[in-house]
């Protein structure tokens, strides 16, 4: 299991190239990558604040829960903080399991929890200044299914 909270970019391909390999019991690997999107067409950058110390602990706990619940062979979470340009990769999760259903479910579970339970806050930088991204009811609702 690898958990990393970092300012630096990461290489999705390099992270996935060895993930879940070298075991005869892994049949399915799912990855999710979150990318800085610009819905308004006017955003300059996205800034991610986090809570050092708590962030790593919260993500590790969430990932361990996923590994146990879906009997994962491995799990990976990388989440960046700091200032990111549009199109940059914000974070990724990956899950390795025997069957595809477990790998998909565990990855969705991780994402739903990271969205609402890991201490990150997004701020948009635009032409009119900055504004904090508000939490969505749909993200909170997504947790209910687990």
Partner 1 sequence: MIDVLYFAWVRERIGLPRETLETQAATVADLVTELKAREPRYEAAFADLSALRVALDQELSEFDAPLKGVREVAFFPPMTGG
Residues that bind partner 1 (CB under 8 A): 34, 48-51, 53-54, 57-58, 79, 90-91, 100, 111, 114-123, 132-135, 139-140
User: CB-wise, 59 or 108, nearer to its own copies?
Assistant: 108
76, β-bridge pairs: 2, 94
User: CB-wise, 3 or 112, nearer to its own copies?
Assistant: 112
Which position among 100, 132, 135, 141 is part of the footprint of its own copies (CB under 8 A)? Answer: 100
3-class SS of residue 129: strand
10 binds its own copies (CB under 8 A): no
The token duo for 38 is 């610009």
3-class SS of residue 19: coil
**Phi then psi dihedrals of residue 20, to 5 deg:** 75, 5
Q: How many residues of this chain bind its own copies (CB under 8 A)?
A: 38
Nearest CA to 59 out of 16, 91, 32, 83 is that of: 91
Which position among 26, 83, 117, 125 is part of the footprint of its own copies (CB under 8 A)? Answer: 26
34 binds its own copies (CB under 8 A): yes
The token duo for 63 is 């990932």
Which partner, its own copies, partner 1, none, binds residue 71 by CB below 5 to 8 Å per kind? none
User: CB-wise, 61 or 115, nearer to its own copies?
Assistant: 115
| Pair type for strands 28-35 and 89-97 | antiparallel
């Amino acid at each position: 299991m690898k958990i990393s909270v970092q300012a630096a970019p990461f290489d999705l391909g390099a992270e996935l190239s060895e993930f879940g390999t070298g075991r005869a019991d892994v049949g399915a690997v799912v990855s999710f990558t979150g990318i800085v999107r610009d819905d308004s067409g006017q955003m300059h950058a996205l800034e991610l604040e986090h809570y050092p110390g708590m962030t790593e602990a919260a993500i590790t706990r969430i990932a361990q829960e996923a590994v146990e619940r879906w009997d994962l062979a491995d799990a990976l979470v990388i989440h960046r903080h700091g200032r990111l340009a549009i199109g940059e990769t914000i974070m990724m999760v990956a899950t390795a399991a025997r069957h595809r259903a477990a790998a998909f479910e565990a990855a969705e579970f991780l994402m739903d929890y990271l969205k609402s339970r890991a201490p990150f806050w997004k701020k948009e930088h635009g032409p009119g200044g900055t504004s904090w991204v508000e939490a969505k009811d749909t993200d909170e609702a997504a947790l209910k299914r687990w």
